[in-house]
Structure 1
Amino acid sequence: MAATPTEHPSTKETLPSQQGAIPYSCTNGVRTPLSSILPPLVFGTATFNHQYNHDPFSLDTTGLVTSALTHGIRAFDTSPYYGPSEQLLGNALATPFVRETFPRDSYMILTKCGRISSDEFDYSAQWVRQSIQRSLERLHTDYLDLVYCHDVEFVSPAQVLEAICELRRLRNEGKVRYIGICGYPIDVLGDMAEMILRETGEPVDCVQSYANYNLQNQTLAGSRGIQRLRNAGVEVVPNASLLGMGLLRRQGVPIGALGDFHPSSRELRSAVRDASDFCDRHGEKIEVIALRWALESWISTGASCGSRGDPASGLPWTRESNDDVGGAKLGVSVIGVSNSSELEKTMLVWRSILDGLEGGEETAKQAGRWYRAWEWSHNRRKAVQMLAEGVQEILGSWNGYAWASPDPGFVNKRVTNVKVVVGDEDAEYLTPAASPDASVLDKDEWAERSRKTDLPLR
């Protein structure tokens, strides 16, 4: 499914029609609302990193990105902190096939700034500007659709404010279109969003939360989460890390080149194993239930800060519009995959979820799909919900638990105002692998500790 396409000197005769643009405009400083164009399914590329894979360069990232585009995905989320992710994504988007078939204005690129390594953060105006310029070069683009300040809980409100102001200057220069913040602690995200609105008179466009809306923790759905962010003027709140950074998997947390990076305790992992055994006894895998439950329920739970952007159809070369699935806002989710099997099965899950939305029954018939697809989707939702409730019963007091971020005693080791030359190969990948506290496994040790990572989904 995700094989790298064969390149041709000229593709005018052999490739599908050029894909249409996402309808963005900016007139007299008034931009198209992000909530009208951001696709509700975003392809996250944190997996193009040493935390999740021993060698990200061995992944067929070009094939994955190309296949994602052909199946309707029109937004990609990355970060300089994700090792070579920006470069791998940029190279995939720069192939002749993608350039000719998917023009730059037909998809959105979301990246981040400010986080350099596990214990280095630089939110200074100088570094933000340098980081954005480097991202533009790595991603082979003249502009970035959305830039987040990465993991705001690690720095002070004043530092966040400095970074936001510089991003807005870059927005005025046409290099950035929308601006957001992201991080883990829900209360900090709310504090920062409110502070930015109070101090500048303008809200951030987007706040991305991760690992706070899944089978183990639904804090993002409460009054401290999406409602507080909405009150602070935030337009869109994407939900990322639907499996809790890989916690909610039968095989346990992912083990990449950095070893076991996951912050969850032994006791929480034991509870998840018990929940996984429960799913096994009912012929399911916990990652299947967790992924489908989070994707399907966030569509409605996150709708108040969702988007009417066109969803990915999940089918090759088939366009789906928001009107085809009822025309309402849909909560935005970020998925992460490492191989073609994970992508294919995730897209099948997404297609089935869309079939169950308003208008899905008629849309399926008009598209020539199974006339009972809508009924199947609703029955599957009931089964998943039943097992999801069973998982949450087993997790017990671990429901809603959040680990500390940052750890007590954290010290930012970044020396600010240090000029880094863009393009310097020695400084190109300031990633978790370069962190002083990282423990890099050799290939043999990694192979023994890791297991197959395919997600059997439906």
Structure 2
Amino acid sequence: MRTAPLGRGGVRATRLALGCAALGNLYRPVDDETAAATVDAAWDAGIRTFDTAPHYGLGLSERRLGAALRGRPRDTYTVSTKVGRLLVPYDGGGAGDDLAHGFAVPATHRRVWDFSGDGVRRSLEASLERLGLDRVDIVLLHDPDDHAEQALREGYPALERLRGEGVVGAIGVGMNQCALPARFLRETDIDVVLLAGRYTLLEQEGLAELLPEAAARGRSVVIGGVFNSGLLTDPGPGATYDYAPAPQAVLDRALRLKAVAERHGVALRSAALHFPFGHPAVASVLTGARSPEEVRDSVAQLRRPVPDAFWHELRAEVLLDPHAPVPSVR
């Protein structure tokens, strides 16, 4: 599978990356065997970039990913993890589950926001232990929405030092919004932005500022959430958008997208996977999976060409920002 550089450093990402939140039992349990088989399926398909975080299942995702990659040559894959939430054990081991945060795991720890320099280092050290690795390739400041100043003034400089020391290869920020990552691009020397849900076939908010800023500065963007919480896999009653039931207007737009796709013999999820690659700043698309079948489907959909006529009709139907660059079969 093709790779692309992340920013100006030496770290590269495969065109399709595996998001590992589901390996942390996102919404519902995944057993150990299925989690391992999911990583194996990604590997067999040529995927060599894997994204995880302490937040995902209170460390379960990191532990499972590390176990699944163990034994594979370390220089053949890229691992991304995140900092900003320290996992602090509850006294007595805690009680109940973590479903309030979206993960079907025992609530053994609490998350403590910390974007200080010390917090960044402590978080990374704990992640390396859970992963069973001596280094990771990419470290991202994770959702610093309400902690912007600390993340900029303390967290980012700590990551910059770690990059300078060679402890990590690339640094950046991972968020579900555009304004703060654009500020990071202007004010810091990050390599990459992981942008979730804000540059998709359904909405192109990232096109206004973030993506042009990244392209102008030679930085890279990894696009996550291309299915908008599942809405673009199969829009219909009960479909979710931004992790909640889709508003009717949003659902109607997704159904119009699906109708255009069907007229051109294209699966909507295939078009959703292809779309971000039209922009020159996009290096990789990150998709989550909770089974080998989901991995294989994403790879198959990305391999299917989307005809130029599909994009032309989307523009004619005013279903796509007129300035959004699109991939071309040519």
The one of 247, 252, 274 aligned to 1:271: 252
Q: Which of 87, 90, 112 is residue 63 of structure 2 equivalent to?
A: 87
Give 2:272's match in structure 1, choosing from 287, 290, 294.
294
Q: Distance in 2 between matches of 1:182 and 1:131?
A: 16
Match of 1:426 in 2: none
Unaligned runs of 5+ in 1: 1-21, 25-30, 197-202, 255-259, 307-330, 353-376, 401-458
Matched, 1:144 2:136: yes
2:173 is paired with a residue whose SS is strand
The structure, 1 or 2, with the larger RCO (C-alpha pairs under 8 Å, 6+ apart) is 1
Contact persistence 1:171–1:177 (CA under 8 A): yes
Gaps of 5+ in 2: 88-100, 102-110, 325-330
Q: How far 1:68 sits from its partner (Å)?
A: 1.0
Q: Which of residues 22, 32, 36 is equivalent to 1:47?
A: 22
- Are 1:153 and 2:145 an aligned pair? yes
Partner of 1:333: 285
Q: Return the match for 2:307 from 381, 386, 390.
A: 381
Question: What stretches of structure 1 move > 4 A for 4+ residues in a row?
Answer: 116-120, 251-254, 279-285, 386-393
Q: Does the C-alpha gap of structure 1 residues 293 and 23 become closer, same or farther in structure 2, counting only changes over 3 Å?
A: closer
Report the CA distance shift for 1:261/1:34 in structure 2 as closer, same or farther (over 3 A): same
Contact 1:242/1:294 (<8 A) preserved? yes
The AA in structure 2 aligned to 1:271 is: D
Q: Report what 1:221 is aligned to.
A: 207
Q: Within 5 A, what are the aligned runs for 1:46-445?
A: 46-51=21-26, 53-57=27-31, 60-83=34-57, 84-94=60-70, 99=71, 102-115=72-85, 120-196=112-188, 203-222=189-208, 224-231=209-216, 233=217, 235-250=219-234, 252-253=238-239, 262-263=243-244, 266-272=247-253, 274-275=255-256, 278=259, 288-289=267-268, 291-301=269-279, 303=280, 305-306=281-282, 331-352=283-304, 377=305, 380-382=306-308, 384-385=310-311, 393=319
Asked if the contact 1:215–1:392 (Cα under 8 Å) also holds between the matched residues in 2, the reply is: no
Residues 227, 389 of structure 1: alpha-carbon distance in 2 compared, 3 angstrom cutoff: closer
Distance 1:207 1:389, change over 3 A: same
CA distance in structure 1 between the aligned counterparts of 2:36 and 2:28, rounded to whole angstroms:
18
8 Å CA contact 2:138, 2:168 repeated in 1: yes
Q: TM-score, normalised by structure 1?
A: 0.56
Query: Structure 2 CA distance, aligned partners of 1:270 and 1:178?
Result: 37
Query: 2-side partners of 1:340 and 1:390: how far apart?
Result: 37
Task: For residue 120 of structure 1, report the CA deviation from its aligned partner.
Answer: 4.8
Distance in 2 (CA, whole Å) between partners of 1:242 and 1:387 is 20
Secondary structure of the residue aligned to 1:179 is: strand
What root-mean-square deviation, in Å, do the aligned CA atoms of Structure 1 and Structure 2 show? 3.5
Larger Rg: 1
State the secondary structure of the residue aligned to 1:131. helix
Where 1:212 maps in the other structure, the secondary structure is coil
Distance 1:157 1:281 in 2: 46
Q: In percent, how many aligned pairs have the same letter?
A: 24
In 1: Cα distance, 2:43 partner to 2:32 partner: 20
In the other structure, the counterpart of 1:314 is: none
- C-alpha distance in 1 between matches for 2:229 and 2:132: 29
**Residues 193 and 148 (structure 1 numbering): CA distance in 2 closer, same or farther, change over 3 Å?**
same
State the aligned residue count.
294
In 1: Cα distance, 2:242 partner to 2:275 partner: 28
Question: What is the CA–CA distance in structure 2 between the aligned matches of 1:48 and 1:136, rounded to whole Å?
Answer: 17
